[in-house]
Structure 1
């Protein structure tokens, strides 16, 4: 698992660069926050799967995909990324600082909470 900064993710989503060693394909954005948090703000194209549902919904995820796990500040996403890693996922990235860091570093117009 790798940490990815909001700016690195923005570049990757813009297809101008991918993290070292990652292929140049768009990542699967896995948002593990609660539905009310997702409704407040989220990255376009992010797939909502609250943290507590991930073990039950594991089969819905592609273990071969590049997955960026997102939460509010990066702690829940780190736990989910570690769980996924233990379950055979290899191309995992944790969004450092979460959606809050994205709002500060990339999209200041994004709603903060």
Structure 2
């Protein structure tokens, strides 16, 4: 079982993703389909929050998972679930895609 959930700022995640020497995490976007279609981080995997339990084996296979939603609340719930269910490292993107748009990539549409 994962010991805890690490909260990452958008800048911290961007730095991680830009570091070729660091193993890359699974970017798990847990928003609804229309939200994901509107905007998402490059490389994000879409698994709506309600589908996470059914797809746990697929998600838990990743050594590190960063949970993402609009503002960081739904993703924190998923992160807590994953922390109880898996052995990998679990992270939550604090402020969600909205923070990413503000702090990292202004071209990512806000809603």
TM-score, normalised to structure 2, is: 0.91
Q: Which residue of 1 aligns with 2:55?
A: 57
Q: CA RMSD in A?
A: 1.4
Q: Deviations along 1:3-58, whole A, 9 cap, x unmatched?
A: 000000000000178xxxxxx21111000000100000001110000001101111
More helix by share: 2
Q: Secondary structure at the match of 1:93?
A: strand
Aligned residues: 107
Q: 1: distance between equivalents of 2:9 and 2:41?
A: 14
Take 1:74 and 1:26, find their aligned partners in 2: how far apart are those partners?
20
State the secondary structure of the residue aligned to 1:57.
helix
Q: Give the TM-score taking structure 1 as reference length.
A: 0.89
Structure 2 CA distance for aligned equivalents of residues 63 and 84 of structure 1: 11
> Matches of 1:63 and 1:2 in 2, distance apart?
18
Deviation at 1:90, TM superposition (A): 3.5
Superposition pairs of residues 1-113 of structure 1, within 5 angstroms: 1-15=5-19, 24-113=22-111
What residue ranges of structure 1 are gaps of 5+ in the alignment? 18-23
Identify which range, 44-53 or 8-17, moves more after superposition.
Answer: 8-17
Between the aligned partners of 1:48 and 1:25, the Cα distance in structure 2 is 20
Structure 1 ranges of 4+ moved more than 4 A: none
Give per-residue Cα distances to partners, 1:74-94, cap 9 Å, x unaligned.
000000000001102330110
Match of 1:21 in 2: none
Name the CA shift for 1:37/1:64 in 2 (closer, same or farther; >3 Å). Answer: closer
